[in-house]
Chains A and B, each alone.
Chain A
Amino acid sequence: MKIAVCVKQVPESQAKRLDPATKRLDRSGEGALNAFDANAIEEALRVKDASGDGEVVLVSLGPERALDSLRKGLAMGADRAVLVSDPAAAGSDLVATSLALAKALEREQADLILFGQQSSDSDGAVLWAAVADRLRMPLVSQAAELTVAEGKARVKRQTEFGYDVIDASLPAVVAVSDAINEPRYPSLKGIMGAKKKPQESVTASDLGVDAAQLGEAGSKTEVLALGDPPARGDTVKVEDDGSGAQKIVDFLAEKRLL
Chain B
Amino acid sequence: MRTLVFLEHHGGELVKNSLAVVSKAASLGGDIHGVAIGSGVREAAAKAGAYGATKVWVAEDAALDAPLPQPRVDVLEHLVREHGYDTVLFGQSVLAADVASGLAARLDAGLNWDLTDLVQQDGTLVGKRPALQDSVVVDVGWKSEPRLALFRSGAFDPQESGGDAQVDDVQVELQDFSTKAAMVEQAHAESEGPSIEDAQVIVAGGRGLGAPENFKVVEELAQALGGAVAATRAVVDAGWYPYASQVGQTGKTVSPKLYVAVGISGAIQHKVGMQSSGIVVAINKDGNAPIFELADLGVVGDLHEIVPKLTELVKQRKS
Instruction: Name A's B-contacting residues (CB within 8 A).
Output: 13-14, 16-18, 23, 93-95, 98, 118, 122-134, 136-142, 144, 154, 157-169, 172, 177-180, 219-230, 232-240, 244-249, 251-253, 255, 257-258
Contact = CB atoms under 8 A, between A and B. Distances in A.
B181 interface: yes
Contact of B101 (A16, A94, A244): A94
B185 A244 contact: no
A223 B306 contact: no
What secondary structure prevails in chain A residues at the interface with B?
A: mixed
Given A95-B108, A245-B310, A18 B101 contact: no
Contacts of A139: 69-70, 98, 102, 181
Contacts of A180: 237
Given A18-B132, A237-B292, A165 B105 contact: no
A225 B143 contact: no
Among B73, B235, B237, find the residue whose CB has the most chain A CB atoms closer than 10 A: B237
Nearest to B187: A162
B306 A240 contact: yes
Nearest to A134: B105
Given A160-B94, A164-B186, A239-B300, 18 more contacts: A18-B131, A126-B111, A126-B113, A129-B102, A132-B102, A133-B106, A139-B102, A158-B243, A161-B10, A161-B187, A172-B180, A220-B144, A226-B136, A226-B139, A233-B296, A235-B298, A252-B281, A257-B258
A5 to B, nearest CB: 18
B189 interface: yes
A71 B83 CA distance: 48
Contacts of B234: 178-179
B202 to A, nearest CB: 12
A95 B101 CA distance: 9
Contacts of B283: 244, 248
A172 B181 contact: yes
Interface in B102-143: 102-106, 108-114, 126, 130-132, 134-143
B183 A238 contact: no
Contacts of B288: 13-14
B140 A223 contact: yes
A245 B302 CA distance: 11
The 6 A-B residue pairs with the shortest CB-CB distance in the complex, in nearest-first order = A240-B301, A220-B110, A162-B187, A179-B237, A129-B101, A126-B101
25 contacts: A94-B111, A98-B101, A98-B105, A123-B114, A126-B113, A132-B70, A132-B102, A136-B176, A141-B94, A159-B187, A159-B250, A164-B187, A168-B182, A172-B181, A220-B142, A222-B140, A228-B136, A228-B137, A229-B137, A237-B287, A237-B300, A239-B300, A244-B306, A245-B306, A247-B299
Contacts of B26: none
A4 B279 CA distance: 44
A167 B143 contact: no
Contact of A129 (B98, B137, B142, B295): B98
B212 interface: no
Which has the most chain A C-beta neighbours within 10 Å: B73, B185, B187, B307? B187
Contacts of A98: 101, 104-105
Nearest to A242: B305
B211 to A, nearest CB: 13
